Chain A
Amino acid sequence: MATDPIHQFQIHRLIPIEIGGLDLSFTNSSLFMVVTAGLAAGFLYWSTSGRGLIPGRLQSVSELFYEFVAGMLRDSAGSQGMRFFPFVFALFMFVLLANLIGLIPYFFTVTSHIIVTFSLAITVTAVVMGYGIYKHGLSWFAVFKPSGVPPAVAPFVILIEVISFLSRPISHSVRLFANMLAGHVTLKVFAGFVVSLSALGAVGVGGAILPLLMTVALTALELIVAVLQAYVFAILTCMYLNDAVHPHH
Chain B
Amino acid sequence: MPADEKRSASTAPPAAGADAVPPGEWERRRQDLGERLATRRVNQPKVSEKGSPTMQGMAQGMRLGSEFVGGVLVGGGIGFLIDHFAGTMPIALIIFLMLGFAAGVLNVVRSVQGDKSRSVTMANTESSKSATSDGPGGA
> A: which residues have CB within 8 A of B?
53-54, 68, 70-72, 74-76, 78-80, 82-83, 85-86, 89, 156, 159-161, 163-164, 166-168, 170-171, 174-175, 178-179, 224, 228-229, 231-232, 236, 239
B residues less than 8 Å from A71 (CB atoms) = 44-45, 49
Minimum CB–CB distance from A50 to chain B (whole Å) comes to 11
B residues lining the A interface (CB < 8 Å): 13, 15, 44-45, 49, 51, 55, 58-59, 62-63, 66-67, 69-71, 73-75, 78, 96, 99-100, 102-104, 106-107, 110, 114, 118, 121-122, 124-125, 128-129, 132, 134-136, 138-139
Main secondary structure of the interface of B (DSSP, over half): helix
Docked Cα-Cα span, A174 to B13, in Å, equals 49
Instruction: Note all chain A residues with C-beta closer than 8 A to B78.
Output: 163, 166
Least CB distance from B125 to A in Å reads 4
Residues of B within 8 A of A232 (CB): 59, 62-63
Alpha-carbon distance between A105 and B96 when the two chains are bound, in angstroms: 44
Residues of B within 8 A of A156 (CB): 99
Which residue on B lies nearest to A67, using beta carbons?
A: B49
B70 touches A171 (CB 8 A): yes
Cα–Cα distance between A78 and B121 once the two chains are bound (Å): 9
Give complex CA distance A160, B105 in Å: 10
Describe A's contact surface by its main secondary structure.
helix
Closest B residue, CB atoms, query A84:
B136
A68 shortest CB reach to chain B, Å? 7
A70 contacts B136, C-beta separation under 8 Å: yes
Question: A75 near B69 (CB under 8 angstroms)?
Answer: no
> Smallest Cβ distance from B79 to chain A, in angstroms?
10
Q: Is the pair B125, A75 in contact by a Cβ cutoff of 8 Å?
A: yes
Of chain B, the residue at the smallest CB distance from A239 is B114
Known contacts A54-B15, A78-B125, A161-B106; 18 additional CB pairs below 8 A are A54-B13, A74-B129, A78-B121, A79-B125, A80-B139, A82-B138, A82-B139, A83-B138, A160-B99, A160-B103, A161-B103, A163-B100, A164-B71, A164-B107, A170-B73, A171-B107, A174-B70, A175-B66
> What are 15 pairs between A and B in contact, CB < 8 Å?
A53-B13, A75-B122, A79-B125, A79-B128, A83-B136, A85-B136, A160-B106, A163-B71, A164-B103, A164-B107, A164-B110, A167-B73, A179-B62, A224-B55, A236-B63
